[in-house]
């Protein structure tokens, strides 16, 4: 039985993901579900191609702070996404292959998506996780968080120069990243 044939479980069917993708596109966001096979095989090429196509078609300034991704195929996995080694390895590979990655990360509170926070949890080592059922989440302490944030800010500035963004836009992207990295949803 393929993923398309499986019963709907937490909205991971391709048709459900496509509906979310289209709804976010109407709001100017770019949502990319990563199939489990790509995650486990570290197959970043298709996503990189889609991202580069988006940047070329829409312009970097329009895509910055508007990209979200999710790892599909893990809805039955009880672990948090940062606890899944394959997801962390995929994120790290993508991060190393796309210097602009931190500048692209979206924050979508209504769907509890925080890209800058994911950057920290996927790249850093989590030494404390406090379960908070009242928010259906965790408070986390990430070792080396400040170094990850500083690297992201440096890369955002480089992306701004490369794509000739106005200084105010770059400062806004930096503030967006810091706000997300230090905020819990």
* Residue pLDDT, tens place only, 134-147: 876 778 888 999 99
- Residue 4 above 80 pLDDT? no
Query: pTM, whole model, 2 decimals?
Result: 0.86
Distance CA 158, CA 103 (A): 10
Residue 160 lies in domain: 3-182
> Which one is predicted more confidently, 101 or 17?
101
Average pLDDT over residues 137-163: 93
- Residue 27 above 90 pLDDT? no
Tokens of 168: 């105010």
Query: What torsion do the CA atoms of 51, 107, 105, 53 make, to the nearest 10 degrees?
Result: 10
> Which one is predicted more confidently, 58 or 136?
58
String of DSSP letters for 2-24: -GGGSPPSTT-SHHHHHHHHHHH
Residues 6+ apart with CB under 8 A from 32: 21, 47, 50, 51, 67, 68, 69, 70
Tokens of 125: 């080592």
- Residue 185 above 80 pLDDT? no
- Residue 1 above 50 pLDDT? no
- For the chain, how many structural domains are there in total? 1
Residue 163 CB neighbours (<10 A): 17
């Amino acid at each position: 039985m393929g993923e398309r044939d499986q019963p709907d479980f937490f909205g991971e069917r391709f048709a459900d993901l496509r509906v979310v993708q289209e709804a976010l596109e109407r709001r100017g966001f770019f949502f990319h579900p990563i199939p489990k096979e790509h995650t486990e095989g570290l197959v970043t090429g298709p996503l990189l191609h889609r991202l580069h196509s988006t940047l070329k078609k829409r312009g970097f300034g329009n895509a910055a702070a508007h990209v979200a991704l999710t790892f599909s195929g893990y809805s039955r996995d009880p672990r948090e996404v940062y606890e899944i080694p394959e997801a962390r390895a995929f994120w790290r590979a993508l991060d190393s292959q796309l210097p602009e990655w931190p500048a692209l990360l979206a924050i979508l509170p209504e769907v509890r998506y925080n890209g800058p926070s994911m950057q920290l949890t996927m790249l850093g080592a989590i030494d404390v996780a406090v379960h908070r059922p009242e928010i259906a989440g965790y408070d986390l302490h990430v070792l080396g968080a400040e170094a990850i944030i500083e690297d992201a800010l440096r890369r955002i500035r480089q992306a701004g120069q490369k794509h000739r963004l106005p200084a105010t836009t770059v400062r806004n992207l930096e503030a967006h990243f810091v706000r997300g990295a230090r905020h819990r949803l």
